[in-house]
Chains A and B, each alone.
Chain A
Amino acid sequence: MPRQTTPGQDLTRGIWRENPVLIQMLGLCPALAVTNTVVNSIAMGLATFFVLLCSSILVSTFRKLIPSEVRISTYILIIATFVTIADMTLEAVVPEVHKALGAFIALIVVNCMILGRQEAFASKNTVPRAIIDAVGTGIGFIIALLMMGSIREILGYGTFLGFPIFGSNYEPWIVFILPPGGFFTIGFILLALNWWERRKLERARAGEPPAGAAVERAA
């Protein structure tokens, strides 16, 4: 039996505590590949959000009809359908962004974050809960992509959403918009997160520090 959680926990779990990219390390391929600008990150985030939400709704709706022997193939079929819909819609509505994302839209099919949520959550829970879970996870994914995209665009192009933020004297750090820059960026983000987590943990382990102790350590 899945652990009972409140809807609020279902929502926030994916956003932060179990963030798909930053904590679970799922969906790293798009997170590394297309986050060289903020616009690309937003588009990829929204496309993935759409696919995740629609797939979760369908899988949860038909969870009692899908025999477990063919569940993975059925999930993939459902996911692939929505990915193709997202692909065509993006090409029709925002062709420039579609051109920039290229093959990575089609590759949302193999984003294990999406399949993971179907297998771990949507196939075992009611439709409303599946929706809440998908929304939380999707927002978490968008946040992670935005973090990557902002850092890489600011350093690699010297712009944010296309607007220059450093003067004309800024020499763009081109490596950050190239593939290695994706690895550097995620590496530093994870480093910072883990350092922060560990510090929090150590503080907690030190017991409820009395006000005096905290002051003493700070001094």
Chain B
Amino acid sequence: MSGAGDGNGGSRVLPQAAPQREEVPSWRLLVTLGSTGAIAGLLLVFVYQATQPAIQAYRAMVLRQAVQEVLKGPERWDTLYVVDGGLVQELPAETDPAGLEMVFLGYHEDGQPIGFAITGGEFGFQDIIDLIFGYDPGTKTVTGMKVLANKETPGLGDKIEKDSVFVAEFDGSETPLVGVKSGRATGAANEVDMITGATISSRAVIAIINHRLELLGPMIAAYLEEAN
């Protein structure tokens, strides 16, 4: 309110400075910005609520398709949560599943487990690379790999997602994976040929899988032991 007083005072002292626009009281400024902000916020709430189901459904669909792909078409799968350094299927009461790490355990039609679909992300060449891969704990092999999100250089680094030869390299390769430059492969079952011109991105993909398995491998083994 003092701002409004100042404004009036000013114009009384200098009545002839006429061409100057009348000073706007500060409450009007506050009301303008405040009401614009309030209306904007309200509008956004409506749009958010209207669009959120579609956005969530799309994300879930992408993940579903990815699990299907890396586990080679499982009949069904269970979602396991990482809680206190172990895998659990049933969350303890009053635990919010949002924000918890998840792995997916896929089954054949006859109820035999196929393997685990595990997500992970680490820094590549430009930004975080997010991927999902299938892992068969029986043979300790990767069953498939799919990049979910990357911002690598188009035409070079993004081949980790688009180059089908590179993606197929992961099918059935033993862990821990070792990246080799193309032409230097010795034929060992844990070798993955890296993409020429995208060494850093290729290496990041291999590192993500190895690091995730270092962390989750023991948990998976413990979970399976308990289940038997």
Contacts and interface: CB of A to CB of B under 8 A. Distances in A.
A78 interface: yes
Interface of B is mostly: helix
Interface stretch (A61-69, A105-113, A196-204): A61-69
B139 interface: no
A70 to B, nearest CB: 5
B83 interface: no
A161 interface: no
Question: Among A68, A95, A99, A172, which residue has the most Cβ atoms of chain B within 10 A?
Answer: A95
Contact-residue size bin, chain B (C-beta under 8 Å from the other chain): 20 to 34
Contacts, number: 63
A218 B33 CA distance: 63
A174 B155 contact: yes
A108 B50 CA distance: 22
Contacts of B28: 67
Interface in A79-130: 80-81, 84-85, 88-89, 91-93, 95, 99, 102
Given A67-B24, A69-B24, A80-B40, A95 B58 contact: yes
Given A69-B24, A88-B55, A95-B58, A77 B37 contact: yes
B33 A85 contact: no
Contacts of B40: 77-78, 80-81
Nearest to A80: B40
A172 B47 contact: no
Interface of B: 21, 24, 28-29, 32-33, 36-37, 40, 43-44, 47-48, 50-52, 54-55, 58, 149, 151, 153-156
9 contacts: A67-B28, A68-B21, A68-B24, A69-B24, A74-B33, A80-B40, A81-B40, A81-B43, A88-B55
